[in-house]
Amino acid sequence: MFKIRFVIFVLVTLIFVSFGCESFRKKFIRKPKDRPKEEEMVIFPKDYSKQQLPSDEAYMQYYTYWKSWHNELISHLVKGGSKKKIISCFEQTILNLNRMKDILASNEKVVFLDEYIAKILSLDEEVKAKSLVMISMSQLRNQSERLLRAIERDFAFSKVKDDLR
């Protein structure tokens, strides 16, 4: 009797397992979680290059840029920086001096600033032509410091504010 009940129980279990009840199976299967859709960021870039600064603000900005690059140049000449960094400092110095020159309205000041730019260009060409071992860094530093003081003296904003466009 026990054997017959056991056989019937096993047969019923096998029938349920093999055919199974679909809803019974669904109860124990984990459903995938619905993830919220990620919203795409909408970015509207604003072009600031078209906005013109007044000439006095632009001059002060370029003057500050020039002064910081020239001071960085001198600091690299003092501590013996790499040639690539020194050349980069020269290029940025010349670039900002040219921008300052473009804002000046007085031809006298433009010619005077061109002389300083030519002196800095000659120092730049000397650095590019020779290796740093062959260049006298102290002499180059002294010339750069003299040019810095001269440009600060002659082209500070208080001296040229009446000569701007």
- Between 52 and 151, the more confident residue is 151
Q: In the chain, what is the straight-line distance between the N-terminal and C-terminal CA atoms, in Å?
A: 115
**24 has pLDDT over 70:** no
Domain extents in the chain? 55-163
pLDDT tens digits, one per residue of 93-114: 999 989 888 888 777 888 888 8
Residue 56 is predicted with a pLDDT of 79
pLDDT band at residue 68, thresholds of 50, 70 and 90?
Answer: very high
- Between 63 and 43, the more confident residue is 63
What's the fold here for domain 55-163?
Four Helix Bundle (Hemerythrin (Met), subunit A) (1.20.120)
Burial 21-45 (b: 16+ CB within 10 A, else e): eeeeeeeeeeeeeeeeeeeeeeeee
Three-point CA angle 107, 109, 114, nearest 5°: 95
Phi and psi at residue 87, to the nearest 5° = -65, -40
